[in-house]
Chains A and B, each alone.
Chain A
């Protein structure tokens, strides 16, 4: 199924959670915050959040800034 992650259309196996997807992208879930279809998903809900075809996901993290 296709999910748009940070503006890129990517193909994932159905049935994955947000946590699975973050791990499959080699990201550390503890330093990422997610916005799924414009709703914020805090880290403790990654594993309980299912994904559906057509979802729009934003993954963000802190970087250096003044």
Chain B
């Protein structure tokens, strides 16, 4: 959709789907997902290298045109998030960072206070900061004051695929905040992503649901008419909408 451009951190984007890369059985699926969906922003995490085995590297499977959005998963405090963000930037893959500060291991809910502290430090250092947050208006305002480029409220706890359980709270953020709102966590089906977009979200980040799809049935928006029907397992599945496919580079 050439007319549907939005901007984050000075970067113009035409796809409203951000892709997470966790929980894939094989990272080699990632490039196919990027190609089929037309997504332009992709998340990764930073971890200690496992010295005992030569692991496949996820970067081998991420198309070069994608904007990399490393997260700070594993951080339990603002200080740990800042350290991870600086290390991620030293990889030389840009200055975007998704702040995740989580010390609640049961529900993986983000710590708003520590997240705002990390956002303030990193925004001052020139990072494009996208914090993962509970959809709370006061937290959203403190993140905006701290210099966030967008905010990423959760629809439901990470990995649950339960949809927009926080719908009313996200709706308030969309009404009240000038920043782009990217719904992150909880989206389990294309219809739930549609619901977020119809509410006025700028984009959705989808992870767990994608590797769980049994076919190539897409997250792409329909050009017109209904969503493509999922094909039976083993069949190639419908083609994604050409409107949301990546345009060939000149």
Contact = CB atoms under 8 A, between A and B. Distances in A.
A28 B57 contact: yes
Interface residues of A, number: 25
Nearest to B92: A43
Interface string B23-63: 11001001000000000000111111101001101110000
Which of B55, B90, B92 counts the most A-chain CB atoms under 10 A from its CB?
B90
Interface in A52-66: 58-66
Interface string B204-218: 010110000000000
Interface of B: 20-24, 27, 30, 43-49, 51, 54-55, 57-59, 70-71, 73, 86-88, 90-93, 158, 185, 205, 207-208
B47 to A, nearest CB: 5
Which of A32, A58, A59, A66 counts the most B-chain CB atoms under 10 A from its CB?
A66
Given A63-B44, A66-B205, A40 B90 contact: yes
Interface string A1-31: 0000111100000000000000001111001
A25 B24 CA distance: 26
B46 A62 contact: yes
A17 B22 CA distance: 33
B51 A6 contact: yes
A59 B59 contact: no
Contacts of B21: 64-66
Nearest to A59: B49
Contacts of A43: 90-92
A60 B87 contact: yes
A5 B22 CA distance: 26
B58 A62 contact: yes
Given A43-B92, A60-B49, A66 B208 contact: yes
B51 A65 contact: no
A58 B59 CA distance: 19
